[in-house]
Structure 1
Amino acid sequence: MSAPSSPSAPSATADATSAPSPPARLGTTLLVIVTAYLMVGVDSTVVNVALPDIAQGLHFSRTGLSWVLNAYTLAFGGLLLLGGRIGDIVGRRRTLAAGALLFALSSLLGGLATEGGWLLAARALQGLGGALIAPSTLALITTSFPEGPRRHHALSVYSSMAGIGGSVGLVLGGLLTSWASWRWALLINVPIGLALVLALPRFVTETPRHAGRFDLAGALTGTAGTTSLVYAFIRASETGWSDTRALLGFIAAAALLAGFALVEARADQPVMPLGLFSDRNRAGGYASILLLPAGMFGAFYFLTLICQQVLDYSPLRAGFAFLPMTLVMFTTVRLVPRLLARFGTKPVLLTGMTLVAAGAGWLWRLGPGDGYAAGLLGPLLLLGLGVGLSFMPLNATILSAVEPREAGAASGLLQTLQWLGGTVGLSVLVTVYGTATRHSTGSPDAVLTHGAARAFGVGALIALAALVVAASVITGRRGPARNV
Structure 2
Amino acid sequence: MPRLDAAGAFLVTGGTAALVLALVRTESYGWTSSTTLLTLAVAVALLATFVVVELRVRGPLLRLGLLAHRPVLSANLFSLLMSSGQFAAFYFTSLYLQQVLGYGPTATGLAFLPFCVGIVAGSLAAPRAVARFGSSATLVAGGVLGAAGFAWFALTVAVGSSFVGSVLGPSLVASVGIGMCFVPLGTQATAGVAAPEMGMASGLLNSFRQIGGSLGLAVLVTIAAHASGSASGGTSGEARNSGTGVALDRTALVDGQSAAFWAASALLVVASLAVAALGMRSRGAGPDGTRTTTASLPTGAMAAGADATAVQIQAQARAQAQAQALARARARARDLDQT
Instruction: State the 1:439 CA deviation.
Output: 4.6
CA contact (8 A) 1:357 1:463 kept: yes
Which of 284, 297, 301 matches 2:74?
A: 284
Partners of 2:28 and 2:86 in 1: CA distance: 22
Residue 331 of structure 1, CA deviation: 2.2
The corresponding residue for 1:468 is 273
CA deviations 1:402-447 (Å, max 9, x no partner) are: 2222122111101001111111111110111222223542533222
1:349 Cα deviation from its structure 2 partner: 1.8
Partner SS, residue 25 of structure 2: helix
Q: 1: distance between equivalents of 2:144 and 2:230?
A: 34
CA–CA distance in 2 between the matches of 1:286 and 1:458? 19
| Contact 1:359–1:380 (Cα < 8 Å) also in 2 | yes
2:104 is aligned to 314
The whole-number CA distance in structure 2 between the counterparts of 1:438 and 1:216 is: 43
For residues 357-384 of structure 1, give each alpha carbon's deviation from its aligned partner in whole angstroms, at most 9, with x where no partner exists: 1112222222222221111112111111
- Name 2:42's counterpart in structure 1: 252
TM-score after normalising by structure 1: 0.53
- Write the deviation string for residues 48-76 of structure 1: whole angstroms up to 9, x where unpaired: xxxxxxxxxxxxxxxxxxxxxxxxxxxxx
Could you report, residue by residue, the CA deviation over 1:234-268 in whole angstroms, capped at 9, with x for unpaired residues? 11123322333222111111111111111111121
- Cα displacement string for residues 213-241 of structure 1 (whole angstroms, at most 9, x for unaligned residues): 11111111111111111111111123322
State how far apart, in whole Å, the 1-side matches of 2:266 and 2:121 are.
Answer: 27
Larger Rg, first or second structure (1 or 2): 2
1:323 corresponding residue in structure 2? 113
Indicate how the Cα distance of structure 1 residues 316 and 405 shifts in structure 2: closer, same or farther if over 3 A, else same.
same
**Once superposed, what is the RMSD of the aligned Cα atoms?**
2.1
Alignment of 1:10-409 (within 5 A): 211-365=1-155, 366-409=157-200
Higher helix share: 2
Shift of 1:332: 2.3
CA contact (8 A) 1:238 1:434 kept: no
Alignment-mate amino acid for residue 215 of structure 1: D
Name the SS of the counterpart of 2:4 in structure 1: coil
Superposition misfits of 4+ residues, deviation over 6 angstroms: 476-479
Overall identity of the aligned pairs, in %: 36
How many residue pairs are counted as aligned between the two chains? 272
Q: 1:459 aligns with which of 264, 276, 281?
A: 264
Map 1:473-484 to 2 at 5 A: 473-475=278-280
Contact 1:307 1:313 in 2 (8 A): yes
| Structure 1 residue ranges without an equivalent (≥5) | 1-210
The amino acid that maps onto 2:37 is L
Could you tell me which runs of 5 or more consecutive residues in structure 2 were left unpaired when the two chains were aligned: 233-244, 283-293, 296-301, 311-339
Verify the 8 A CA contact 1:357 1:461 in the aligned structure 2: yes
Letter in 1 for 2:60: P
